[in-house]
Amino acid sequence: MKPFFLSTPIYYVNAKPHLGHAYTTTAADAMIRFQKLMGRKTFFLTGTDEHGDKIVRAAQARQATPQAYVDEISAAFRELWEELDLSFDDFIRTTEPRHVTRVQEFLQRIYDRGDIYHGEYGGHYCFGCERFYTDKELKDGLCPDHLQAPEYIKEKNYFFRMSKYLEPLRRHIEERPDFIRPERYRNEVLGLLREDLGDLCISRPKSRLAWGIELPFDRDYVTYVWFDALLNYITALEWPEGERFRTFWPEAQHLVAKDILKPHAIFWPCMLLSAGLPLYRRLNVHGYWLVQDTKMSKSLGNVVDPLALAKTYGKGPFRYFLLREMPFGHDANVSEEALATRFNADLANDLGNLFSRVLSMTRKYFAGRVPEPGPIRSEDEDIHVLATEFLKNFQDLFGRFQFSMALESLWTLVRALNKYVDASQPWTLFKHERREELGTVMYTLLEAMRKVAVHLWPVMPEESEAMLAQLGERRPAEQWRHLADELLHWGLLAPGTEVAWASNLFPRIELKASATAPVLAGAVAQGQVAEPSALPPRAVAELLEFTDFQRLDLRVGTVVSAEPVKGADKLLHLHVDLGEDQARSIVAGIAQYWPPEALVGRQVVVVVNLKPRKLRGALSQGMVLAVHAPEGLRLLAPSDQVPPGSKVS
């Protein structure tokens, strides 16, 4: 089986770590654990990026030297990852000699190939981004990220002939549909490659910036921070001759947030092509964490302290929330209410309740030991088939970084097991002494619970091991069967195994209506984490008169067709039968939650008296109503089928 290498970006140390950094590293840790369970040899790389203008400015604000400053902040990142039990294999720093010498070797190689030249350039330089912008890239004369006017700088520098490799890169991406995923980011990169990107300035004169890696062919210049930082992925693997590089680079994957897509999808592969090195296998891109629909920002004071969340709710539930709440590639909101709701609904009510009731019944009916199963009934066989189907879905989705969808598949199995308990009624079988049937039911539940617990190990390692210990499995994870075996074999839990008499893994959280959310408001300013303060209270909606409600015309309709809207990832074009002469054309922002084919035949509630408007070229003659639930968006619908056009009142 092929080895598996995964890196996070190396985090810039101009401020301490926040939730966004924690999500990327947690997602990488979960993927590495998953690949270990799949039987692969793995390597997990993270670290810190420590050069550039912003570091010098942050150090000056602290009245410290750049080296002392980066030592402190880099240590904060490493300590947080260790506190969160993130199992990285290497933590690289760009100020380490092993990195510096290999960066200089790489620069010399592509310089000797004629891919670096000296020239003069004048441009708009943003110190926040540490890069030059063209007039076309600016928005109303401002940096698009920092919304500040860049400083015009004209100076001599060294340039990388990136333009030489843009066409080969474009062909590489077009020939490999999963080189960049999700697809929306692949399309974004292909769009960028249709523009005139030109060459890349890769140096800064020491007269302006001395804190960086010196160019090996000109001691008056240091390396541009991105050119330096991107090379960490191979310098940590001991490029060019190291065993790590030979073993892991052919299967390398990167995990990054969407704000650093361009350096990783364009700069980095062009650098590799110039050096004659194979490109990485895949780039996986995730969205932003938002607070009240606003991107986290130090200036806004809405940066979330991940350690406070983990200490309040537990490391496992914190990890589960991060991976379950964010559909990979999309943005997601974080709030204490959302975390508590997810905890109670998924962990306490579904999974915790399943373990509690099944282990209690095993104690009562079989003295706390796994029973011998009797003959398999059709309803028991159904659970076997469901478990195989949902666990296979979990493995397929998780392996593609679709963590939220994978966990939804696993939770479909958990909910099915709770329904199986209710339908099988073990208490009735016990009362009527139908012992063989009871043994089959209880064994089916315990074995399925064991499979759920094993699959949860990448997401919640400690809780997974605790669940397995309750089921009598006390071997370390390294000795578990590979996940592929879990699909092939039923009956891995030995009858007679002693199990726990009770379980209380996830006690419910009572979130008072008046409670504030102190753990979500640790603002970061000038590299310091400020004292937490409460999140703004949720606004109270304006009260309406009944006559205002009567102005809405709400009707039930049946979806007769659905298709994606071209160029819009979130939109579906529906045609809904509302009992009129022809179906209504409605554009709905539900594409990330519902595939088109799953909507056909469903009944929905529609606001029919909205003014029509065009969205991305499609006419929308109404609004489909939906509910924001912990599991994602859910469509509003009648409890039973009703005639199309039925009025809601």
The CATH number covering residue 339 comes to 1.10.730.10
Assess whether 295 carries a catalytic annotation: yes
Average pLDDT over residues 484-510: 89
Lowest average pLDDT, out of 80-89, 95-104, 591-600, goes to 591-600
On whether both 136 and 55 belong to a single domain, the answer is yes
Q: How confident is the model at residue 512 (pLDDT cuts 50, 70, 90)?
A: low
**Is 313 inside any structural domain?**
no
**In the 8-state DSSP scheme, what is residue 397?**
H
Could you count the other beta carbons within 10 Å of the beta carbon of residue 619?
Answer: 13
On whether both 454 and 556 belong to a single domain, the answer is no
Q: Which of 18, 51, 99, 451 is catalytic?
A: 18
Average pLDDT over residues 75-88: 94
Average pLDDT over residues 244-258: 96
Tell me, what's the pLDDT at 591? 83
On whether both 147 and 249 belong to a single domain, the answer is yes
* 63 beta partners: none
**Is 325 inside any structural domain?**
no
Question: Is the pLDDT confidence value at 184 over 70?
Answer: yes
On whether both 269 and 389 belong to a single domain, the answer is no
Element (H, E) at 158: strand 151-160
- The whole-model pTM stands at 0.78
Residue 219 has φ and ψ, to the nearest 5°, of -75, -5
Tell me, what's the pLDDT at 417? 96
On whether both 340 and 272 belong to a single domain, the answer is no
Residue 279 has φ and ψ, to the nearest 5°, of -75, 160
353's tokens: 């309740």
Tell me, what's the pLDDT at 453? 96
Q: Where are the alpha helices (DSSP H) in 38-162?
A: 53-61, 66-83, 97-112
Question: Is the pLDDT confidence value at 315 over 60?
Answer: yes
Q: Which of 21, 254, 451, 455 is catalytic?
A: 21
Average pLDDT over residues 232-241: 97
Assess whether 126 carries a catalytic annotation: yes
On whether both 410 and 480 belong to a single domain, the answer is yes
Instruction: Give the side-chain half-sphere CA count within 13 A for 579.
Output: 14
**Is 192 inside any structural domain?**
yes
Residue pLDDT, tens place only, 414-428 = 999 999 999 999 999
Q: What CATH number does the domain containing 58 carry?
A: 3.40.50.620
Between 83 and 299, whose confidence is greater? 83
Sign of CA dihedral 94, 322, 420, 425: positive
Tell me, what's the pLDDT at 592? 75
What are the residues whose beta carbons fall under 8 Å from the beta carbon of 605, sequence distance 6 or more?
554, 555, 556, 557, 624, 625, 635, 636, 637, 638, 648
Average pLDDT over residues 493-501: 94
Tell me, what's the pLDDT at 383? 94
What are the residues whose beta carbons fall under 8 Å from the beta carbon of 296, sequence distance 6 or more?
18, 19, 20, 288, 289, 290, 302, 303, 304
Report helix, strand or coil for 277.
Answer: coil
Tell me, what's the pLDDT at 537? 36
Q: Which of 16, 124, 254, 298 is catalytic?
A: 298
On whether both 559 and 424 belong to a single domain, the answer is no
Tell me, what's the pLDDT at 276? 97
Could you count the other beta carbons within 10 Å of the beta carbon of residue 368?
Answer: 17
**Is 299 inside any structural domain?**
no
**Is 598 inside any structural domain?**
yes
Determine the straight-line distance between the first and last CA of the chain, rounded to whole angstroms.
60
Q: Count the helices and strands in the chain (H runs, E runs).
A: 23, 29
**In the 8-state DSSP scheme, what is residue 142?**
B
Question: Is the pLDDT confidence value at 589 over 90?
Answer: no
Tell me, what's the pLDDT at 305? 86
Lowest average pLDDT, out of 80-89, 115-124, 343-352, goes to 115-124
Helix axes 53-61, 66-83, angle to 10 degrees: 90
Assess whether 201 carries a catalytic annotation: no
Report the amino acid identity of residue 459: V
Tell me, what's the pLDDT at 529? 28
Could you count the other beta carbons within 10 Å of the beta carbon of residue 175?
Answer: 8
Residue pLDDT, tens place only, 533-583 = 333 333 334 555 666 676 788 999 999 888 988 877 778 899 999 988 788
Q: Which of 41, 54, 172, 295 is catalytic?
A: 295
- Per the listing, tokens 């050119």 go with 227
Q: How confident is the model at residue 125 (pLDDT cuts 50, 70, 90)?
A: confident
Instruction: Find out whether 6 and 31 touch, Cβ atoms under 8 Å.
Output: yes
On whether both 238 and 371 belong to a single domain, the answer is no
Q: How far apart are CA 184 and CA 129, in angstroms?
A: 24
Question: Is the pLDDT confidence value at 83 over 70?
Answer: yes
Question: Is the pLDDT confidence value at 531 over 50?
Answer: no
List Cα–Cα distances, 590 to 269, 323, 327, 571, 596, in angstroms. Answer: 34, 20, 13, 6, 9
Count structural domains, the chain: 3
Convert 584-620 into a string of H (helix), E (strand) and C (coil).
EEEEECCCCCCCHHHHCCCEEEEECCCCCEEECCEEE
Question: Is the pLDDT confidence value at 525 over 70?
Answer: no
Average pLDDT over residues 384-406: 95
Q: How confident is the model at residue 480 (pLDDT cuts 50, 70, 90)?
A: confident
On whether both 65 and 140 belong to a single domain, the answer is yes
Assess whether 146 carries a catalytic annotation: yes
Assess whether 129 carries a catalytic annotation: yes
> What does the mean pLDDT of the chain come to?
88
111's tokens: 């310089």
Q: How far apart are CA 519 and CA 470, in angstroms?
A: 31
Q: Which of 41, 54, 129, 172 is catalytic?
A: 129
375's tokens: 């003959």
Question: Is the pLDDT confidence value at 162 over 90?
Answer: yes
Q: How far apart are CA 613 and CA 127, in angstroms?
A: 42
* 151 beta partners: 125
Q: Which of 126, 201, 270, 451 is catalytic?
A: 126
Q: How confident is the model at residue 514 (pLDDT cuts 50, 70, 90)?
A: very low
* 255 beta partners: 284
Tell me, what's the pLDDT at 427? 94
| Percent of the chain clearing pLDDT 70 (strictly above) | 92
> Would you give the distance in Å from CA 350 to the centre of its chain?
23
Provide Rg for the chain, Cα atoms: 28
List Cα–Cα distances, 496 to 351, 373, 446, 471, in angstroms. Answer: 24, 11, 12, 11
Residue pLDDT, tens place only, 428-476 = 999 999 999 999 999 999 999 999 999 999 999 999 999 999 999 888 8
Q: Which of 36, 51, 143, 201 is catalytic?
A: 143
* 165 beta partners: none
Q: How far apart are CA 53 and CA 51, in angstroms?
A: 7
Tell me, what's the pLDDT at 227? 94
Report helix, strand or coil for 527.
Answer: coil
Instruction: Find out whether 516 and 535 touch, Cβ atoms under 8 Å.
Output: yes
Instruction: Find out whether 606 and 576 touch, Cβ atoms under 8 Å.
Output: yes
**Is 501 inside any structural domain?**
no
Tell me, what's the pLDDT at 55? 93
**In the 8-state DSSP scheme, what is residue 11?**
E
Q: Which of 139, 146, 156, 489 is catalytic?
A: 146
Convert 253-268 into a string of H (helix), E (strand) and C (coil).
EEEEEHHHHHHHHHHH
**Is 306 inside any structural domain?**
no
**In the 8-state DSSP scheme, what is residue 498?**
B
Report helix, strand or coil for 219.
Answer: strand
**Is 62 inside any structural domain?**
yes
Q: What CATH number does the domain containing 608 carry?
A: 2.40.50.140
Q: How confident is the model at residue 594 (pLDDT cuts 50, 70, 90)?
A: confident
On whether both 98 and 187 belong to a single domain, the answer is yes
Between 272 and 292, whose confidence is greater? 272
Q: How far apart are CA 473 and CA 167, in angstroms?
A: 54
On whether both 91 and 19 belong to a single domain, the answer is yes
Tell me, what's the pLDDT at 540? 37
Question: Is the pLDDT confidence value at 366 over 50?
Answer: yes
Tell me, what's the pLDDT at 320? 97
Residue-level length of the chain: 649
On whether both 229 and 160 belong to a single domain, the answer is yes
In terms of residue numbers, what domain contains 557? 546-648
Assess whether 270 carries a catalytic annotation: no
